[in-house]
Amino acid sequence: MTILVIVIIVVVAAVLVISGAGFAIARTRRKGRGPVAPPPTRPSGAPPPGAPPGRAPTAPAPARAPPEAGVRPEAPVEAEIEAAAEAEAAVEVPAAPPSYRSRLGTVRGLFSGAVSALRSGRIDAETWDSLEEALIRADVGVATATALLDDLRSKVDTKEIRSGDDLLAALGRSIRELLETSGSRSLRFDGKEGSPDIWLIVGVNGVGKTTTIGKLARRQSAAGHSVLLAAGDTFRAAAADQLALWAERTGTEIVRGAEGGDPSAIVFDAVQRAAARGNDLVLADTAGRLHTKVNLVEELKKIRRVAGREPGNVTEVLLVLDATTGQNALVQARQFTEAVEVTGIVLTKLDGTAKGGIVVAVQRELGLPVKLVGLGEGPDDLVDFDPDQFVDALLATD
């Protein structure tokens, strides 16, 4: 009898232990965060506000970081599992860059009707209309769209182009040609001893300057640079706070000053400090107040002058343009290029806009290379502009 009771107790205890372990494993798996990260290589960061959930890898929250908006408080058990997972994967590993095809959905939608018609072999008045409408709505520019289609029409008339597929291929080649640039698309970095490279980031409010600096800080740090951020937008305190958050996330240092302070002084301090401490790259944020245009122009000129003083070496002045603003971006660009010699364009928000054709207009009308494009709000969503991938994504049917 006693033996029977002991056996029953042992069996019940075993069942409880096994089911408890199974439950814990199931919970851990449910919370799984994708593939196991390779060994840590660099400091970590948390996802930025607005980053799609689950896209950015988790990292320990920086001591000063405020709670992320929209993050659900964890239950105690989940918090424990989370803490264990975070201790394991102590640093964030940059995610693979997003593909053009996956992020250009909106502008691709404009072309899908014409592209499907051409793939099925149709070249009729409706196809031409549909192509023209897509090009114009995508903000390629009316004159450019008309010239492009006139050229293709004449090739169809002379039977140089015979099938829908050939026309599609010719269209792709023509758009690709429009994207040719005499300027280099690579970001210039001289890396002279004791003379930090400075990349100035300019553009109107809200286009994505600060976010681009955060993304660049991450990219360039990952590429082995020692990056220092200069909070040159002193117009609002929040602007420097936003940059400070990116500095924490990307493990970079920041030089900031008081709200309303002189941005040139901050950039100057940043360059001095970078030279003294061996940072090889300074990314300088600026304010973009178009409504005080005269001041802006003078301020930018001064920042550019001061940044270029010994030991500073300004190697890029990147103008950030928001693709969703379409042709307005060109107007802004002209105002900025009057003030400073811009070396390249960063076109942000190409994801989620039907105006991706602005990339053609920007390059043709400004004669400046589009160097980088923003394909999302996350820290890894800044990619080199690749015309082949862009055209391929635009005219793909899959």
Ligand X SMILES: Nc1nc2c(ncn2[C@@H]2O[C@H](COP(=O)(O)OP(=O)(O)O)[C@@H](O)[C@H]2O)c(=O)[nH]1
Among 20, 22, 52, 206, binds ligand X (CB under 6 A): 206
Checking 160-169 for CB contacts under 8 A at 24+ apart, the result is 163/121, 163/123, 164/117, 164/118, 164/119, 164/120, 164/121, 164/122, 164/123, 164/127, 165/118, 165/119, 165/121, 167/118, 167/123, 168/115, 168/118, 168/119, 168/395
Among 47, 57, 98, 374, binds ligand X (CB under 6 A): 374
Listed ranges 60-68, 134-142, 204-212, 245-253: which one lies at the site for Mg ion (CB under 5 A): 204-212
Q: Is 66 in the site for ligand X (CB under 6 A)?
A: no
Name the residue type at position 117: A
The CA-based angle 395-177-145, given to 5 degrees, is 65
Question: Between β-strands 281-284 and 313-322, what pairing exists: parallel, antiparallel or unpaired?
Answer: unpaired
CB of 209 to ligand X, least distance (A): 3
Q: Is 371 in the site for ligand X (CB under 6 A)?
A: no
CA distance 370 to 173: 18
| Residue number, 161 or 375, with CB nearest to ligand X | 375
Number of residues located near ligand X, criterion CB under 6 A: 18
CB of 242 to ligand X, least distance (A): 6
CB of 248 to ligand X, least distance (A): 16
Q: Is 210 in the site for ligand X (CB under 6 A)?
A: yes
Q: Is 210 in the site for Mg ion (CB under 5 A)?
A: yes
Query: How far is C-alpha 267 from the chain's CA centre?
Result: 23
CB of 80 to ligand X, least distance (A): 32
CB of 238 to Mg ion, least distance (A): 9
CB of 18 to Mg ion, least distance (A): 55
Region for residue 217 given its phi and psi (left: phi exceeds 0; alpha: psi -120 to 50; beta: otherwise): alpha
Report DSSP state, residue 292. Answer: G
- C-alpha torsion 343→223→388→354, nearest 10: -70
CB 45 within 8 A of CB 251: yes
- Measured from the Cβ of residue 13, the count of other Cβ atoms closer than 10 Å reads 10
50 touches, from ligand X, Mg ion, none (C-beta below 5 to 8 Å by class): ligand X
Among 225, 349, 355, 371, binds ligand X (CB under 6 A): 349
Listed ranges 26-34, 117-125, 189-197, 208-216: which one lies at the site for ligand X (CB under 6 A): 208-216
Report DSSP state, residue 224. Answer: T
CB 187 within 8 A of CB 316: yes
Listed ranges 35-43, 164-172, 349-357, 360-368: which one lies at the site for ligand X (CB under 6 A): 349-357
Q: Is 141 in the site for ligand X (CB under 6 A)?
A: no
Binding site for ligand X (CB under 6 A): 50, 203, 205-211, 348-349, 351-352, 374-377, 381
